[in-house]
Structure 1
Amino acid sequence: MKKRVWVGLALAAVMAFSAGCSSSKVDYTISVSQYGEHPSLDATLEGFKAALKDAGLEDKKNIKIDYNSAQFEPSNSKTIAQKIANGKSDLALGIATNPALDLANTVTDRPVLFAAVTDPIEAGVVKQLQAPGGNVTGAADTNPDAIVQTMDFIAAEFPNVKTVGVIINEGEPNAVVMAKIAEEQLAKHGIKMTKKAIAKSAEVKQAADALVGKVDAIYITLDNEVVSGVSSIIEVANKNKIPFFSADRDSVEAGAFAAVGFKYYDHGYEVGQMAVEILKNGKKPGEMDVTVPQKLDFIINLKAAEAQGIEVTDKMKQYVKDQNNILQ
């Protein structure tokens, strides 16, 4: 009798174990190459995961996300791309320009998506935005109108600004493209741009200090190395009462004064929806248009304004469509 009980218990345990294994079966593996960790890129990945989860694909349950960080080192990005190419994931995601380009050049046997890439055509990630062909598509993280609107805002509301300083890593194609757009738009208003180049985030503070006394405002693009050191720019801007403008919402939330931007979480979510279409519905990346942000809005930080000696007028506030984007 005891033997039958033990056999029954053992059988039940095996069945329970088997059921547990089947419930945690991995349907898809997604390889992610992210250029490094900072709020915008991290929010992009979180949005991507959220879209998957909303479609029933959850990490560590029925999908596996193999996350890799290049720690802002171009050589690491290339190594990661080769590792992913040698692996057997179902889809690859590159977050930021370097990982996106390296994956596009290296991974040819499966779908590749990208996010947080400013100009995917200029960078060489895709040849066109509409139905790009091949195995690569994704979402660009800038709309040139956002840069133009920011420069026009500076010209209209800050008449004393004659020179805008830009801290830039010229090794990042996205930063170069955005700075060029900003410079051209400022020139239309008779405002000059002064660039201070850096190669890594540790140099951001020194670059910001070097702009003091030479510029009337500071602007940064979607430049990964620079954004990683944004706290140093905020410190310098506050100490020296220099208006500080950025190209991303996260920097404004951290302490920059204003930006025309969007939420990177939403940006990542959009790319996650693309992944769902590919994995679950069989869509081909080459037939899916590359998207650009459409929900642009002014974001201003009143606390940052006070710290930087900016008097926020009612006219400035009228630029903001959603009052939730006037940060206290």
Structure 2
Amino acid sequence: MKGKFTGLALSAMLFALCVPAEAQQAGKVPRIGFLGNSTAALEANLVGPFRKGLRDLGYVEGKNILIEYRWAEGKYDRFPTLIAELIALKVDVIVTAGTPASLAVQKATTTIPLVMIAVGDPIGTGLIASLARPGGSITGLTSIAADLEGKRLELLREVVPRLSHVAVFWNPASPFQVVSEKEVQAAAQLMRIKVLSLGVRAEEQFDNAFATIRKERPGALLVLADRLFLHNRARIMDFAAQNRLPGVHAYQELVEAGGLMSYGPSYADMHRRAAAYVDKILKGAKPADLPVEQPMKFELIINLQAAKKIGVTIPPNVLARADRVIK
């Protein structure tokens, strides 16, 4: 009888260790807050990998985990209201992507853990203390990588050998974008490429940016990594095609929308890996002690349909390096 009791006690203890600390209270099902920058439709290719990551770890949405989705629809001024809703729902963890959204969560709460995804400079923006030991209530994945903007410009130069003038879309409202734009300027100076810097903070400013491009006539377009551009990718890529502008962009979704090339970290892969952070936090780990991961996978995506449409030939050596080719 004593052995049976000991076995039952041991089983109960092991079960308790496998169940999230908060969820142990009255059989509570853990609740995740997912803060999206745009819309459910536009971020389906990112949410899908995140949900798959959770499934791979044994979570079944609606059964042993609940996810509350909130969508900013490309309007960053909606973040405070949406975050307040998630806080009111008493979510156990908040998951979001990008610097502006992560900073908004940090401002709203320091008690609810935040798993950030694809934040460019989490140390410089004050989100974490260091990659190895983040401190505070925030951890996750950064998109920071050495000389990424320079590599994108080099790709453009390989495809357009005589390139001397490039337009750059960036968002001055994002601290990381300010840094990225400076990196573009520095790399372009070394390559003797003139930069047409176009800061776009909101959808209403695209028409003026397009008009400036028509007037200045740069030879290519570089779109940096900001959710505003992801949300408006069809509009931007339609303009690029109509004006026969080759380009290399941060997001592969812009290439899928008709752009020529993208080079950068796999954002889908980062969303999938974010699920592991959620799992660890729900099982009692502190965000302060979970090291922030840097990108592990970089992808070059090339759209040959777009190349044909704008009259550009992709050199064989560039095509051979592509991780994916849209034909």
Per-residue deviation at 1:211? Answer: 0.5
**Deviation, structure 1 residue 254:** 1.5
2:240 aligned residue (234, 237, 241): 237
Q: Percent identity, aligned pairs only?
A: 24
Residue aligning to 2:209: 207
Judged with a 3 Å threshold, the aligned counterparts in structure 2 of structure 1 residues 111 and 123 are, in CA distance, closer, same or farther, namely same
Q: Distance in 2 between matches of 1:147 and 1:77?
A: 28
Deviation at 1:35, TM superposition (A): 2.1
Are 1:258 and 2:257 counterparts? no
Could you tell which deviates more after superposition, 259-268 or 34-43?
A: 34-43
Q: Distance in 2 between matches of 1:243 and 1:39?
A: 27
What is the TM-score of this pair, normalised by structure 1? 0.84
Offset of residue 272 of structure 1: 0.8
- Specify the alignment match of 2:155 in structure 1: 153
Query: Is the aligned partner of 1:299 residue 2:301?
Result: yes
Residue 48 of structure 1 contacts residue 269 of structure 1 at CA under 8 Å; is this kept in 2?
Answer: yes
Is the radius of gyration larger for structure 1 or structure 2? 1
Which one is further off, 226-235 or 306-315? 226-235
Which runs of no fewer than 5 residues in structure 2 stay unpaired?
1-26
User: Which amino acid letter does the alignment assign opposite residue 197 of structure 1?
Assistant: G
Which residue does 2:77 correspond to in 1? 75
Distance 1:175 1:97 in 2: 9
Instruction: Point out the more displaced range, 165-174 or 138-147.
Output: 138-147
Distance 1:93 1:178, change over 3 A: same
Tell whether the 8 Å contact from 1:204 to 1:229 is kept in structure 2 after alignment: no
Shift of 1:40: 7.1
Give the counterpart of 1:223 among 218, 222, 226: 226
In 2, the alpha carbon distance for the partners of 1:142 and 1:45 equals 21
Q: CA offset at residue 202 of structure 1?
A: 4.1
CA positional deviation for 1:163: 1.0
What runs of 5+ residues in structure 1 fail to find an aligned partner? Answer: 1-24
CA distance in 1, matches of 2:42, 2:145: 16
| Cα distance in 1 between the residues matched to 2:143 and 2:60 | 25
C-alpha distance in 2 between matches for 1:71 and 1:317: 35
Contact 1:41–1:96, Cα closer than 8 Å, also in 2? no
Residue 188 of structure 1 corresponds to which residue in structure 2? 190
d(CA) in 1 for partners of 2:226, 2:41 = 12
CA deviation string 1:85-141 (max 9, x = no partner): 344221111222222112123222232111132222233222221211121101113
Out of 82, 101, 106, the position equivalent to 2:103 is 101
For residue 280 of structure 2, the aligned residue among 245, 255, 277 is: 277
Opposite residue 150 of structure 2, the aligned amino acid is V
**How far is 1:63 from its partner?**
1.2
Aligned residues: 300
